[in-house]
Chain A
């Protein structure tokens, strides 16, 4: 069965050849009882396990449960069997929460928030032949119809990802002299790339990764911290769902870095792909076309526009473009109106340079797709990487072409992608620093740019995954 995960993730994290003696590192609590004697294990007809002690007494044993997160925390031996579980579970999970809300007492209900990515919206717009604005409004209407309380747009949280990325690059560029690993800065918004980097080249690549959180995870902070406070709820009372163009985002949401120990809740509780939203619509017997558009929600009052906004620089967030223009201004006082991309060996590998009097001041690149990631990493390992900044995405053609996007039943996929790109590009763009509500949130919620809170809520870390190397885990 073809896996819906990105190519990069498939090659490193899916493993159908699990060695029989590979140790599962999930720490199980073993309650050691004093006394000698060997216990016998008896299996009942229904499959439950009973421990029979020497005196004949029996005790039912609890089944060890390995959650998906435990598996990922290990060496990431996500088998293709588990991917089926991941891909099937999410929109059912959302349903369960919505159904539970219907029968729960008022004080026991969970506040359900859905954050929609602009890429998913563009994919739905293409399928239903609607404008992005109409799609946004009708999606809002649909979610509210099924019991969701608020519907947000991750383009808002993306403002923070972009601003933090800009700031971070300038800092690291200026600090080049002090560190050999300051540059290049490699983007980290793509979880397919991150899983690959952590597992295959962990300790080598991690120092280069941008620590800025992805728009999904900034939204996680916004919803579970800022919004929760506003609503006077503890974060665990909010059920936060994101709508994303790929399955890899589900793994990102499951990272332990995005789990609050204090409140025992995730920043993002559930990730639903564009395809899963489409399934939800089908299951509800609703067509987006029929719905009356509902007004758009926004996280803070000053940001209540009635049409969605977006960012320049392509369908994967625009990191290269924003960081380039900001860096040109901040570091060299050069104002760049239009960023010119030069394709290299293939259309998923492009370069951008800032030159002055024959000197290259800034050398940036965008590398999409596994083959280009390979070449980039090999160049880096050999000390032959000429770039200061690389926007890395696991999917060829970027997020608009993610594995969770709607597929064209009859049209060739290339045409559909072009259509989705066109719809994505239709949305009015604005500079992240100008987006209403952003400066306000930096002041009130984060207590200033570069503050400790900003560092904690808008940045994250990465962890090298060591391969389990036991002599018995020989694969044939």
Chain B
């Protein structure tokens, strides 16, 4: 299983600091990394190695916790512990901070662009999730402030095709939000994790959501629409989400990130035990009760906690990871034979 994940290279992305998060641009040609050194770095491939093409250094006063590319690939959003979110516009290799979103009371933990490119979501330790709208003149306005969580909100992610937003929190729940009239409302709360939910990932179809937690499990939730064949009860016209699979016993520490490959459906996890794991769904498993098998387990992938794993959106099997040790690593994943 070690051979299914092969190291391609490492870069000391945020020296003397933590590297917190990674994001591939939609074209799969650039990787943005961010860290405790308050910087965002953009990496591109030149020949056989990954080199730093840009450094975004004047944006934040504190740790940059997450970065996210807009669907068109021309903008990058960075969420920081300094309570702001910067929007950077790409001009070839240069990035210019075109606007700073303020309003959160304290550390912004995550930022995510909706598939339409018109909406942005941020979440914070102030327990709120904000939805922002961008107009033609690159002006951002707050559309909604959602106070559904009772604790620090760690991550937000949008559904791949619908305007449905998901958030993960220190309050052990996952919440889903949608637009209703002129405001956004919480339309579902997913309970089951026994500790902080750190990250979320939708599957390529958007029908399933993976969540990972401090309780050392990954849960797979499936969406059931009203009047579904399986008889899962729904309230009104809102879909229900049911936990259809729990991956437990595989991770020995907190799972900080989960990434669902949009090309192959493989699930990668980043763990506090310094390891990277990959799971694949058994092809013959029942969609209502799917089973996943561990297809790769690389202990000591990094010398400290792995904070993020990110699948390249265009190149199959290309996975990037980053760690508290400040490094970014690139991996090639091959599904083992006989699975």
Known contacts A11-B105, A11-B126, A12-B105; is-contact A374 B145 (Cβ 8 Å): yes
Known contacts A11-B126, A371-B142; is-contact A346 B103 (Cβ 8 Å): no
B151, closest chain A residue (CB): A16
Asked whether A429 is an interface residue with its Cβ less than 8 Å from the other chain, the reply is no
Q: How far is the CB of A72 from chain B (nearest CB, A)?
A: 17
If the complex has contacts A345-B141, A347-B182, are A7 and B147 also in contact, measured as CB distance less than 8 A? yes
Is the CB–CB distance between B142 and A375 below 8 Å? yes
Complex alpha-carbon distance, A370 and B125, angstroms = 17
In-complex Cβ contact of A378 among B102, B125, B143, B182 (8 A): B102
Residue of B nearest to A17 (CB): B125
Q: How far is the CB of A80 from chain B (nearest CB, A)?
A: 10
Q: Which residues of A contact B (CB under 8 A)?
A: 7, 10-12, 17, 200, 345-347, 370-371, 374-375, 378, 396, 475
Q: How far is the CA of A370 from the CA of B145 in the complex (A)?
A: 7
Q: Is the CB of B147 within 8 A of A346?
A: no
Contacts of A12 in B (CB 8 A): 105
Q: What are 25 A-B contacts defined by CB distance under 8 Å? A: A7-B147, A10-B147, A11-B126, A11-B128, A11-B145, A11-B147, A12-B105, A17-B125, A345-B141, A345-B182, A346-B143, A346-B182, A346-B183, A370-B145, A371-B130, A371-B142, A371-B143, A371-B145, A374-B103, A375-B142, A378-B103, A378-B141, A378-B142, A396-B183, A475-B106
Q: Which residues of A contact B142 (CB under 8 A)?
A: 371, 374-375, 378
- State whether A371 touches B144 (Cβ < 8 A): yes
Q: Which residues of A are found within 8 Å of B102, using beta-carbon distances? A: 378
Q: A371-B145, A374-B103, A378-B142 are in contact. List 19 more A-B contacts (CB 8 A).
A: A7-B145, A10-B147, A11-B105, A11-B126, A11-B128, A11-B147, A200-B105, A345-B143, A346-B183, A371-B130, A371-B142, A371-B143, A371-B144, A374-B145, A378-B102, A378-B103, A396-B183, A475-B106, A475-B107
A126 to B2, CA, bound (A): 69
With contacts A346-B183, A374-B103, A374-B145 taken as known, whether A475 is within 8 angstroms of B128 at the C-beta atoms is: no
The A interface, classified by DSSP as helix, strand, loop or mixed, is helix
B residues within 8 Å of A by Cβ? 102-103, 105-107, 125-126, 128, 130, 141-145, 147, 182-183
Chain B binding surface SS class: loop
Number of A-B contacts (CB under 8 A): 37
Give every chain B residue within 8 A of A17 (Cβ-Cβ): 125
A203 to B: closest C-beta gap in Å:
16
B residues less than 8 Å from A346 (CB atoms) = 143, 182-183
CB distance from B141 to the nearest CB of A (A): 5
B141 touches A475 (CB 8 A): no
Cα of A39 to Cα of B211 in the assembled complex, Å: 56
A12-B105, A346-B183 known; A475+B143 contact, CB < 8 A: no
Compute how far the CA of A11 lies from the CA of B143 in the bound complex, rounded to whole angstroms.
16
Q: Closest Cβ of chain A: how far from B7's Cβ, in Å?
A: 32
Taking the closest CB of chain B, its distance from the CB of A178, in whole angstroms, is 30
Chain B residues near A345: list those with CB within 8 A. 141, 143, 182
Quick one: closest B residue to A343, CB to CB? B182
User: A11 to B144, alpha carbons, bound, how many Å?
Assistant: 14
Closest CB in chain A relative to B277 CB, distance in Å: 27
User: Does A375 lie within 8 Å of B105, measured CB to CB?
Assistant: no
Interchain CA distance A6-B102 in the complex, whole Å: 20
Smallest CB separation, B152 vs chain A (Å):
9
Residues B145 and A375 in contact, CB atoms below 8 Å apart = no
Output the least CB separation between B325 and chain A (Å).
20
Whole-angstrom CA separation of A12 from B145 in the bound complex? 13
A347 neighbours in B (Cβ, 8 Å): 182
Closest-CB distance, B268 to chain A (whole angstroms): 27
Q: Which residue of A lies closest to B141 (CB)?
A: A375
What's the least CB distance linking A197 to chain B, in Å? 13
Say yes or no: B144 contacts A475, CB within 8 Å: no
CB of A151, distance to nearest CB on chain B (Å): 36
Separation of A345 and B139 alpha carbons in the complex (Å): 14
List the B side residues contacting A475 at CB < 8 Å: 106-107, 125
> How far is A396 from B181 in the complex, measured between Cα atoms in Å?
14
How near does chain B come to A377, taking the closest CB pair, in angstroms?
8
- Complex: A11 Cα to B128 Cα, angstroms: 8
| A7-B142 Cα distance, complex, nearest whole Å | 15
Residues of B within 8 A of A374 (CB): 103, 142, 145
